[in-house]
Homo-oligomer: A and B are copies of this chain.
Amino acid sequence: MATIKDVAERAGVAPSTVSYVLSGSRRISEDTAKAVRAAIAELGYHPRASARTLRSARSEVLVLAVPRESGKYRAMDGRFAIEISDAARGHGYDLLMMTEPDGVDGLLRIARSGLADAAVLMAVAQADPRVAALHELGFPTALLGHGDGREESGVSWVDLDWAAAVALAVHETAAAGHRRMVFWASADHEIEARRGYALHGLAGARTAAAETGADVRVQPSAADPALLRGRLRAALMAAPAPTALIVQHLIPLPLLLAEVAALGLRVPQDLEIVLVGSLPDEPGGPALPRIDLPVGQMSAAVAGLAVEAIGGAAPRHELIAPRMAESQGVRPPGGPADRPAPVPRMETQNRCD
């Protein structure tokens, strides 16, 4: 493996000159620069990251804390990881994955070893111990999600406004004429873990219920399919029957849809279903009214905030306003007057693999 010394020798210059040609931090004559570049190309030279990092105290790496709860996997997490990696590269940073179950130890290890310059935390919870630990270390951090906004005032974050998103869904549903609806919230374990999106979603449902005067029954989801099925059945069969189901916990959506079908309920005539926080380009999902999770926007933002934090910028907070996807609005109780729809149609997507 060629070193900067080899390049310098071949080009007939000092190692420092090679370094200056590469970094551009001092003027070097065009002739010399050309010779150096030729030597670099001939030797296939690439600077050793460790040497550069050792001297400059910059690794050009971000570490991403991926949530990992006992074997559970959320499709969103992988998607975010990939998009954040793309965004980080756009800033000249590589992305290291940190998937240790309890992220605190792993993050401290990475932070104190200097392997990364900043951390990006996913699935932030209220009073998240990772935030406190990194803050104590003075380690640049950006959060994907937020808790109650107080303990994170010293740290940058970006989040979909989940409270507003659920509230928007309730308002739109009420505006379409629905008076009784079920809000299918995050799962028990997410609420217990005090994940920001779970708590904010619940708060948004309560606020919007009060504002619209609609009858909104809040029902947490469950990880266990049997339990989930039982709760859903109870919620939908209650009298008077709800005419709309607003779903934040999307992972078991196929199961929800199947159960709705098994109960003999037609969508949307007997029951309208509104999704909150769906991935924007899932091929072949049913064409339901929904509020998309802006994965690309959030990923780009959080990577940018992490890079800013490395530069010592003051913390910033981005709360993204929810928007209804344009493809499909909430349909009134009894379904649209113009066409029967016994089977939900599948929509087209340009991003399906």
Contacts and interface: CB of A to CB of B under 8 A. Distances in A.
Nearest to A261: B343
A351 B71 contact: yes
A352 B224 CA distance: 7
A253 interface: yes
Contacts of A225: 283-284, 346-349, 352
Contact of A75 (B1, B61, B75, B349): B75
A169 to B, nearest CB: 21
12 contacts: A47-B113, A68-B82, A68-B86, A74-B353, A78-B78, A78-B79, A82-B97, A224-B348, A224-B350, A253-B284, A254-B346, A255-B346
Contact count band on A: 35 or more
A187 interface: yes
Contact of A109 (B46, B48, B282, B353): B46
Given A49-B115, A54-B50, A352-B225, A77 B74 contact: no
A74 B281 contact: yes
B72 A353 contact: yes
Contacts of A306: none
A89 interface: yes
B254 A286 contact: yes
Interface in A244-279: 251-256, 258-259, 261-262
Given A47-B113, A78-B280, A82-B99, A352 B226 contact: no
A20 interface: no
